[in-house]
Structure 1
């Protein structure tokens, strides 16, 4: 299953054993005559045990009934993993909502009276809902805040993460009568640890909102979302509560195109945010069809919405549950138990191929709970029926297996991004992805898999740490996608950008505003295009070439045309390009490491070498198209593999066409490591002949061969005689100074010796050491011997 639910809390394991142990102790005490009331701890069936609230600090409030119907409130401390009894109401009541302040001194609870049969009341007209404020440290007074005929939801604000006492507590009351109030509760400490409410007879309160039709609380960020209906227009609003301010209203002005009747009945509506400044509104009406189901996602941070229509698994299948939306940071999970599971990419929703759509199967039915799930802040999910608090995560292992098995290009694209978005895991996982890419490099027809992996892996590796990187660097090699997704139809519409009434942007609001500004001023939406980088790249190369020409003129060196340059291990061009796209390869080098690892230590042209050479050629083509740099050592390895795998004429064609780039390291290895067989001599001569003269002469010195000496000698003689003017020759050759009676050679060597003795500056030029007339004489004799076959 692509979704993995990890239980952070379980009523059955973290609370129930303690309560049973407490009950056993109480029953034992009652048997010893310690009082009949000692057994009133928990009713026998434990059905009343349920989670009521999860506070910002992670503490969980739960409730249960005793044998006599008394209501107990308990708290599970997520830090110490200990249970604490908060308060007991000695009445048979039904708890609607409750919250405790961060100091655990005040308890707010909303309760209704149970029916005579003991069943939970559905709040019929005339029934009373009591909203109480209780001093619990130690147990003191109980104050009635509300006594009305509608449900009240209560929530203490947690403006500080720290646990130091606050002089004032703020309590939200959200009424079913469509208004929201905030109470200011000042407390004082008396007689040591005794905490009491100041001016309990009159608590100040503020009316925050009226006539809303829907509300959602974000406990982690202390935000309250609600929808106002003004003249049949739905407007999404948000109140951000801060420690240094009462509250701040944010008006998104988002029109969901729903009237009051639709919003108040059969509604599934969720607002999700994350730290990157994204804001999504997920909406699903009641399902009326037996063949398909529809839901909408408003990507407010992107300025558009998408309405998805999913075909149900089988025609006429019965839908008993509604759609569930879960926040997974960079993704939103949408699933209908037994029918489908979708992972929507909220960072890059433009193309449907970046989202994963799966049809329901037995594994999905077994893994996902069928009971309603409540998505809390972050990635927390509460199963109210079982009393379990989960942390929802993407399942990397499943997604990796899915990569190997899927045949659809759209699913390969989506699953690859899902895996990489989970973060940089172990090297084993990275190696598996690289292996999958290598084995499927030609299996994708809609996009270049190597390009997508290079861009996506680089993007997702730096994205969590770098803000606005998606506005600067590409996240995908695909700019358009026209292929349909099986079982999914999609309608995309532009939406009005929100008008945020915020005095000062900070934190999340600053990032959201940045996203909105980008959308506002870049319409139509701009996609990253490497043509800009390519243009700058060619400009830099041109500048460098111009500088080389100037230097060459100063040194009187003329580079012959159509000669292959010899690159350093990390040549100048690579350095320039690295500067343009800095950091893209910093965390993508495992690919190159993988290539070195699978190379055999012996043998030439093995199957493994052919496979790696093919992959590296594809990598080179992919990065060249994207104008991306390659890591140092890539061209050296590529050339060595080419020598092992290609016939000579193909190898030279690859070099001449620029598919293989010669590096100094690679050429030196070839000159030193290859023996002087006829095949290797042809290879060495062919490579030396393709290098600029001065570089070729330098490389020749590394090769101990008569023909190498001949090339060096020819270059030396050409340099000495290029400005030589014939002078009257009066000297007599001293035959005793020559070892061989070969007068033309002797005469020529004497001329060279005379020029060398009169022009000592020739030896100051770098690269001309150890080459003189004597070296030329020896090389000429060896070459003549070879030609004559002596």
Structure 2
């Protein structure tokens, strides 16, 4: 449930302060200062009549300070107060007597004293919107040389800066020095936290040097809107730090005197432009633009109650990521769309876009990685009417606090985890599910919730997106694990690790409440050129928002490249062709038994011990070198080389990464590879438990467990583990020890033999020695069974097939071994051969008298003479050859 704080109720109690027969009403927010304090105006009704009060409210202290009282109702629309709380400026708005339907804005200064306040008219009246804003200073008490400054913003006319004269004795407009900062502008916003003024103005495009001396006459008088930023300092002149050309196709050039008096944040704009700049001290800068348009051309004029559908759209220029995110929601009736005001708010590593009555979005704009995982979920605040929902972010009033300007309710607006779970389990798109998984794993660290979501998908494992979800879980959880355990001096290298399976810049469509929400992404070209570089600043390299933003953009421009799992997959396609477990020696990797950097040094030992018996198979393999260690060694080699190369290339610039030593590279690479194995094992455990296996109740493991499973459960377990295998193979994650043989036997028990054989031929199932023994014992010695055994044996490496052939007590095995023995002799292969025991027959063994003939030697005698000519008697297995010859005359296939 969303937490709502009734601010009007608090203000009324504080304003009345036990006054009897007095009513406080018509509260209006006038502005918010840098320290978070809020300026309010309200109408006080009593026996002596109505009056308008001005007050300063501290949300943190829950205190209201009365500043001034007008003897009669006064329409104050905006105000600002200086740091010392001694001077206040406010703007009134009254109907224009000469022009019906128009209003006149009038700014006034007010000196606050203990006895009687002093009003100071500025003698300025305009039909255009006027706002006033004081510049704040931090050390006014310690540094008496600092004087009060304030800005006066007059729409489409100018921005003036007023400075109080140091020796001024009287308080009037002549006590201030006025300076014109800029001329005509069409939009402006004040950033109270960073003391920055953003404004949009028209400027001619910069002439390119490659265009030649003859400019295009059609572009001589063409101007384009540009967003600029003026940074103000305490004791230094202001400076222009930002100039961004904007693409505002829906900005009308017609005169519009209808103004929304937006005071938090302080903005000046007309009715055709709804734009907001959001910033954070870490270097995040986002430009949010909301607009409506008709998809059919030519567009028609729409009345207030028109039901014609329009497209609701917005764009977010994510400056620190050099990209623009576009969102379009078609099919919204005009009479509803014109009343919807979306909320843009920084939300941890994301940006929340709340569109009342439509949807709530979490845009991934963090500096951890490129924007690629955006969440769309159901709208919040269902109890509010769309027309009465006008939200704006507050500063220093709570992490997720927003203010509803229509009701003055302070709302703790956040997306609960339960809503994300509900959205994930609904029939939403795969991209949305992947974004939710990524958000929980990488940004929130809620592993338990992610496990719950993955387990819920086991109920429908045949869905096409299930392997993709498993890949996202593996990549996200491995990244999060390394991020938690990474040394501080190697933290820069984490930006090179894989973080998500989602590609950057892909278009996404999601259906919420019957409406299609489309998201797309475009790249910005050379965004760092839009900023003032640190060496060009008034104080070079003075660390602030703009220096941090410039450093981020330069890093991204120089081109850091994340490690791609496809690099390992490509290498494994070649190396696994030559992979022979019996021929390889034990690998030496950080995860090898006995290694100084084994898995236990990077994984949580208590977690690993609690999970030691949670898998339905024994985590051992009988081959000399497992495929797991082969994949680990390739991963380690490729990742180490990538990290070393990238860190070497990016250590040259002052604003690039610090030099990372090979020890840093080794630490990051080994931790990531260990996290791969740990998370792969964890996912296998999650899937097995969700499918059929629970270690608390199951006593059997391995092949016995498979034989005891009912056919339906066996099929479910097989389908789930097949998807798990595909996901791990696609991103080159190692599988747990023992999984290969378990999965192969599970497939043998589940699939028809011809299908099983196709999986073997495609190297999905691996016929290790342990699984082959049980399969050979399970297949009977009928004609079809013998053919199946021979087919499987023919697919094995020579050494493994020979071991199994020696253990197969059947005439076919005897004949094949004899043929191989004879072939080795005739081909000149030397060395002591092991003597085969042959078949155990009850009758006496036959000697050289087999097939006797009075006239000539038997063919066997002739063949043995040929063999003895090639090899010594000690190398010949006469018993095996003779018994195979006798067996070949029997019809044992019937």
TM-score under structure 2 length normalisation: 0.58
Counterpart residue number, 1:154 = 133
Alpha-carbon distance, 1:281 to partner = 3.3
Whether 1:16 and 2:36 are equivalent positions in the alignment is no
Deviations 1:289-319 (A, max 9, x none): 53213434153536665665533345x7554
Alpha-carbon distance, 1:215 to partner = 1.4
User: How many Å separate the matches in 1 of 2:722 and 2:383?
Assistant: 44
Counterpart residue number, 1:310 = 329
Aligned pair in 2 of structure 1 residues 679, 496: CA closer, same or farther (>3 Å)? same
Equivalent position SS for 1:574: helix
User: How many Å separate the matches in 2 of 1:86 and 1:344?
Assistant: 40
Whether 1:387 and 2:399 are equivalent positions in the alignment is no
Deviations 1:102-157 (A, max 9, x none): 6xx425433356989xxxx99955x7431235367xx7975848453253322443
Whether 1:297 and 2:297 are equivalent positions in the alignment is no
Equivalent position SS for 2:112: strand
Counterpart residue number, 1:213 = 186
User: How many Å separate the matches in 2 of 1:246 and 1:567?
Assistant: 69
Tell me if the contact between 1:156 and 1:169 (Cα under 8 Å) persists in the aligned partners: no
Tell me if the contact between 2:580 and 2:797 (Cα under 8 Å) persists in the aligned partners: no
Counterpart residue number, 2:201 = 228
Alpha-carbon distance, 1:351 to partner = 13
The 5-angstrom pairing of residues 252-271 of structure 1 reads: 252-257=243-248, 258=251, 261=254, 264-271=270-277
Equivalent position SS for 2:276: strand
Whether 1:429 and 2:449 are equivalent positions in the alignment is yes
Equivalent position SS for 2:25: coil
Aligned pair in 2 of structure 1 residues 573, 313: CA closer, same or farther (>3 Å)? same
User: How many Å separate the matches in 2 of 1:433 and 1:270?
Assistant: 36
Tell me if the contact between 1:214 and 1:264 (Cα under 8 Å) persists in the aligned partners: yes
User: How many Å separate the matches in 1 of 2:729 and 2:681?
Assistant: 17
Deviates more, 1:252-261 or 1:681-690: 681-690
Aligned pair in 2 of structure 1 residues 88, 272: CA closer, same or farther (>3 Å)? closer
Tell me if the contact between 1:254 and 1:496 (Cα under 8 Å) persists in the aligned partners: no
User: How many Å separate the matches in 2 of 1:533 and 1:164?
Assistant: 62
Whether 1:97 and 2:88 are equivalent positions in the alignment is no
Counterpart residue number, 1:87 = 67
Tell me if the contact between 1:186 and 1:198 (Cα under 8 Å) persists in the aligned partners: no
Aligned pair in 2 of structure 1 residues 70, 348: CA closer, same or farther (>3 Å)? closer
Equivalent position SS for 1:52: strand
Counterpart residue number, 1:412 = 430
Aligned pair in 2 of structure 1 residues 310, 468: CA closer, same or farther (>3 Å)? farther
Q: Which of 53, 59, 63 lines up with 2:31 in the alignment?
A: 53
Counterpart residue number, 1:502 = 533
User: How many Å separate the matches in 1 of 2:637 and 2:313?
Assistant: 45
Tell me if the contact between 1:98 and 1:107 (Cα under 8 Å) persists in the aligned partners: no
TM-score under structure 1 length normalisation: 0.64
Structure 1 portions without partners, runs of 5+: 28-38, 189-195, 553-563, 727-740, 745-775, 777-790
Aligned pair in 2 of structure 1 residues 550, 619: CA closer, same or farther (>3 Å)? closer
User: How many Å separate the matches in 1 of 2:753 and 2:711?
Assistant: 17
Aligned pair in 2 of structure 1 residues 517, 228: CA closer, same or farther (>3 Å)? same
Equivalent position SS for 1:406: coil
The 5-angstrom pairing of residues 105-144 of structure 1 reads: 105-111=84-90, 124-125=103-104, 128-134=106-112, 144=120
Alpha-carbon distance, 1:227 to partner = 1.1
Whether 1:613 and 2:589 are equivalent positions in the alignment is no
Whether 1:402 and 2:423 are equivalent positions in the alignment is yes
Equivalent position SS for 1:389: strand
Alpha-carbon distance, 1:545 to partner = 9.1
Aligned pair in 2 of structure 1 residues 698, 107: CA closer, same or farther (>3 Å)? farther
Counterpart residue number, 1:625 = 730
Deviations 1:396-421 (A, max 9, x none): 322322232226xxx33125414632
The 5-angstrom pairing of residues 173-188 of structure 1 reads: 173-176=151-154, 178-181=157-160
User: How many Å separate the matches in 2 of 1:543 and 1:643?
Assistant: 25
Q: Which of 579, 588, 591 lines up with 2:683 in the alignment?
A: 591
Counterpart residue number, 1:443 = 463
Aligned residues: 671
Equivalent position SS for 2:246: coil
Whether 1:279 and 2:286 are equivalent positions in the alignment is yes
Equivalent position SS for 1:253: strand
Deviations 1:271-290 (A, max 9, x none): 23465745333142688553
Deviations 1:326-351 (A, max 9, x none): 2244655556645x336374649999
Alpha-carbon distance, 1:95 to partner = 3.5
User: How many Å separate the matches in 2 of 1:272 and 1:296?
Assistant: 14
Aligned pair in 2 of structure 1 residues 388, 472: CA closer, same or farther (>3 Å)? same
Aligned pair in 2 of structure 1 residues 471, 593: CA closer, same or farther (>3 Å)? closer
Aligned pair in 2 of structure 1 residues 108, 273: CA closer, same or farther (>3 Å)? same
Whether 1:660 and 2:681 are equivalent positions in the alignment is no
Aligned pair in 2 of structure 1 residues 307, 545: CA closer, same or farther (>3 Å)? same
Alpha-carbon distance, 1:54 to partner = 3.5
Structure 2 portions without partners, runs of 5+: 205-222, 256-268, 295-300, 303-307, 485-490, 536-540, 588-621, 640-668, 699-704, 834-843, 848-876, 878-894
User: How many Å separate the matches in 1 of 2:387 and 2:739?
Assistant: 49
Alpha-carbon distance, 1:620 to partner = 1.9
Equivalent position SS for 2:388: coil
Tell me if the contact between 2:388 and 2:407 (Cα under 8 Å) persists in the aligned partners: no
Aligned pair in 2 of structure 1 residues 248, 445: CA closer, same or farther (>3 Å)? same
User: How many Å separate the matches in 1 of 2:510 and 2:370?
Assistant: 11
Aligned pair in 2 of structure 1 residues 636, 688: CA closer, same or farther (>3 Å)? same
User: How many Å separate the matches in 1 of 2:829 and 2:43?
Assistant: 108
Equivalent position SS for 2:272: coil
Equivalent position SS for 1:381: strand
Aligned pair in 2 of structure 1 residues 470, 169: CA closer, same or farther (>3 Å)? farther
Whether 1:604 and 2:585 are equivalent positions in the alignment is no
Alpha-carbon distance, 1:594 to partner = 0.9
User: How many Å separate the matches in 1 of 2:586 and 2:437?
Assistant: 50
Equivalent position SS for 1:619: helix
The 5-angstrom pairing of residues 357-396 of structure 1 reads: 364=382, 366=384, 370-376=388-394, 380-396=401-417
Tell me if the contact between 1:294 and 1:307 (Cα under 8 Å) persists in the aligned partners: no
Counterpart residue number, 1:71 = 53
Tell me if the contact between 2:533 and 2:547 (Cα under 8 Å) persists in the aligned partners: no
Tell me if the contact between 1:248 and 1:502 (Cα under 8 Å) persists in the aligned partners: no
Tell me if the contact between 1:235 and 1:253 (Cα under 8 Å) persists in the aligned partners: yes
Equivalent position SS for 1:252: strand
